[in-house]
């Protein structure tokens, strides 16, 4: 299993010189397991992933499962720029998300409708399937996918991917403090090899003015990894106002409490 980060930023892209080391693209994580690809969220990092997939495919069909946690801009804004959707009609993408608020197909159609975008979905030649995924466990290919609701305005789904090579959990956009959701995220992360978790705010930022905004901080991330028994913690969904130096300080502080911590960075690869 190979986990690669293509977008790690929260809320809005930040293409700034002082963010170059960790990156400024919004949420997108790729998991490769043999020939199978699993993509988590479609922020602006999805564009560069699409370019890499096209180079690697050498004209052959590209297939992937794409899991969307929720429909806020920073998790869907890369979809219109995902090149493999427009070219080879043999390309096939299966989109998985909850339809509790609306379907992802409708979200994509509205996102690309006039006056917001110059082309609509009719330009996409690739095969697309849209599948409703609610809380629970479902087998998919040779893996097991578990989805659970997290604490975020309008809802957000966390995902657990169980494979023969290891377990990875993608749990972004989650605010601590609600007993039900706190239990959910710890159950989702239980014993995982890699936990990718929302650490958008500094603890003092969260306490002072960010309560109710639907995000977590690095100190809570430590609580989750310790209490769930997950092995490695990846701090994710970095705040637009946190530059590389700030994130370095966060990692250093977090390692005082748990040694296997790093911050997600564009291009970072983890192999299990």
Q: What is the pLDDT of residue 198?
A: 98
The whole-angstrom separation of Cα 29 and Cα 48 is 11
Q: Residue 100 — pLDDT band, cuts 50, 70, 90?
A: confident
Contacts of 149 (CB under 8 A, 6+ apart): 135, 155, 156, 157, 158, 181, 184
Ranges of beta strands (E only) in the chain are 2-7, 28-33, 36-40, 63-67, 92-97, 127-132, 136-140, 143-150, 156-163, 166-171, 194-198, 232-236, 261-263, 269-271
Give pLDDT tens digits for 67-98. 999 999 999 999 999 999 998 999 999 999 99
Number of domains in the chain: 1
Q: Give the H or E element holding residue 253.
A: helix 244-255
Give pLDDT tens digits for 149-173. 999 999 999 999 999 999 999 999 9
- Its domain, for residue 58, covers 2-271
Percent of the chain with pLDDT over 70: 100
Query: Residue 55: which CATH number?
Result: 3.60.15.10
75: which 2 tokens? 């998790």
The whole-angstrom separation of Cα 221 and Cα 218 is 5
pTM here is 0.97
């Amino acid at each position: 299993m190979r986990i690669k980060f293509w977008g790690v930023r929260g809320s809005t892209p930040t293409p700034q010189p002082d963010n170059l080391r960790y990156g400024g693209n919004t949420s997108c994580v790729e998991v490769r397991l043999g020939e199978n690809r699993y993509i988590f969220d479609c922020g602006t990092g999805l564009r560069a992933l699409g370019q890499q997939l096209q180079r690697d495919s050498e004209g052959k069909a590209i297939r992937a499962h794409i899991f969307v946690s929720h429909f806020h801009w920073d998790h869907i804004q890369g979809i219109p720029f995902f090149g493999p959707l427009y070219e080879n009609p043999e390309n096939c993408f299966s989109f998985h998300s909850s339809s509790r608020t609306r379907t992802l197909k409708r979200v994509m159609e509205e996102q690309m409708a006039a006056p917001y975008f110059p082309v609509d979905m009719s330009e996409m030649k690739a095969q697309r399937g849209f599948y409703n995924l609610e809380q629970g466990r479902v087998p998919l290919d040779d893996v097991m996918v578990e989805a659970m609701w997290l604490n975020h305005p309008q809802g957000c789904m966390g995902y657990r991917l169980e494979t023969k090579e290891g377990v990875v959990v993608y749990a972004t956009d989650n605010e601590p403090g609600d007993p039900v959701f706190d239990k959910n995220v710890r159950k989702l992360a239980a014993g995982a090899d890699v936990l990718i978790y929302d650490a958008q705010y500094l603890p003092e930022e969260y306490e002072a003015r960010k309560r109710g905004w639907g995000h977590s901080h690095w100190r809570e991330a430590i609580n989750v990894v310790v209490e769930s028994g997950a092995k490695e913690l990846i701090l994710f969904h970095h705040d637009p106002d946190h530059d590389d130096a700030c994130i370095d300080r966060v990692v250093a502080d977090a390692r005082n409490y748990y040694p296997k911590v790093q911050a997600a960075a564009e291009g970072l690869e983890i192999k299990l």
